[in-house]
Amino acid sequence: MMTEKPWFERQLKFGYEPELLPYFLVRLEGTPVRIKTMVQSLNEQQLSHKPNGKWSIKENIGHLAEVDAIANKRIDEMLAQAPVLAPAVFEPQNYNPWPLKEVIALFQQNREKNLKKYQSLSVDDLRQASLHPRLKVLMTPVDLAWFDAEHDDHHLVKIKTILQSVTT
C-alpha cells in the first residue's frame, strides 16, 4: 500500500516564472471536472462517509471552495503589495447535508472567479510578491497558482482514498 505524505510535512519550492502560469491554470481548471468524474456514481452515504473521523468527500470539496476564496483575497493582497498575506482562516462548514451539486457548484464558482482573475494579470502583476504567513516564503500569484494546484492534488488523493474505501 502506498503511503501519503501529510500536507503540512511537504517541502514546497517557490519562485516560479510567469511563463509557467498557463500550466498551473490548466491543472486548476481540471480539478472540478476530475472531481465530478470521481464522484458521479456515489450515493449520499458514500459522499458523506467520514473515515476515522476525518473529512468526507463532500467536506474535501467544500474545503477546496474555501481555499479558493482565500486565494482570491491573497491575489488582491499581492497586487496591493501587502508585505505579508493574511493568514488562512477557515470557518468550518458541514457540507455533508448539502446536495453534492451545490458543493461542486460552490467550488466551481470560486474556482472560475480565480481563473478569471489570474488570466487578467499582467506580467508585472505576476511578479508581485508577499510573504506567506505560515510558510515564511515570498509568494507571487504564479507561486500561489502552483501551490493551489498541489493542494488540489492532495485533496484529490484524499477523495480517491475515501472512494476506494466506500466502493470495495
Give the domain ranges of the chain: 19-32+55-167
Q: What is the CATH number of domain 19-32+55-167?
A: 1.20.120.450
Rounded to whole angstroms, how far apart are CA atoms 115 and 117?
A: 5
Rounded to whole angstroms, how far apart are CA atoms 31 and 17?
A: 22
- Measured from the Cβ of residue 133, the count of other Cβ atoms closer than 10 Å reads 11
CA separation (Å) from 88 to 18, 54, 62, 122?
Answer: 24, 20, 15, 25
The pLDDT, as a whole number, for residue 4 is: 76
Angle of CA points 82, 83, 87, to nearest 5°: 80
Do 20 and 142 meet the contact criterion of CB atoms below 8 Å apart?
A: yes
Reported pTM: 0.93
Residues of the chain with pLDDT under 50: none
The pLDDT, as a whole number, for residue 8 is: 61
Spacing of C-alpha 119 from chain mean position: 17
